[in-house]
Amino acid sequence: MANYIAFLRGINVGGQKIITMERLRQIFVSLGFTNVLSYIQSGNILFNSPETNRLILTQTIEQTLSNTFGFYISTIIRTEDEIKAILNNSIFNSYSNENIKQYITFFQEKPQKDVPIPYTSPIRNLEVIKQTDTEAYIVSFLVKGKYGFPNNFIEKELNIVATTRNWRTLDKIVKR
């Protein structure tokens, strides 16, 4: 039985695709998943499943959500161990101060290209400091009183579907 985390893209953001976590948990339980938990309202669902094929899991979840809510929700699945390995990576150590935010952007599939590292956004509020086949590690800087949010930037640059989570959110998910 594998421990998974499903990251749902774009729900409960800016008044769009509003879904309660209680309803999401019910749907995941109805799919036969066990130990279903949610963390905050942005679509982080922890669950157990004997299924090891992530493509099958992803398609099942996406189709069920689409049938239930009438709109498509991209779903990106990682194992709990994969998230722990990301958190054990010290890539952000040289970027730890109060004027930055640390993000991981998860890819739904392997990008067809890589960005040069470090890669800075045009308005210099985001810097990609590492890219793998499955995620990007991004630092967000305070520019004109606002932090950059990397998801749209990365999706556009790499022409992929992705979802982004703050480092602290990931830490809290695995320490729940």
pLDDT tens for each residue of the chain, 176 residues long: 899 999 999 887 777 788 999 999 999 999 999 999 999 888 999 999 999 999 999 999 999 999 999 999 999 999 999 999 999 988 888 877 778 999 999 999 999 999 999 999 998 999 999 999 999 999 999 988 999 999 999 999 999 999 999 999 999 999 98
Domains of the chain: 2-79 (3.30.70.1280), 89-175 (3.30.70)
* Beta bridge pairs of residue 103: 138, 166
Which residue is associated with the tokens 């990576």?
89
Q: Which two tokens stand for residue 145?
A: 């009183």
Give the predicted TM-score (pTM) of the model. Answer: 0.93
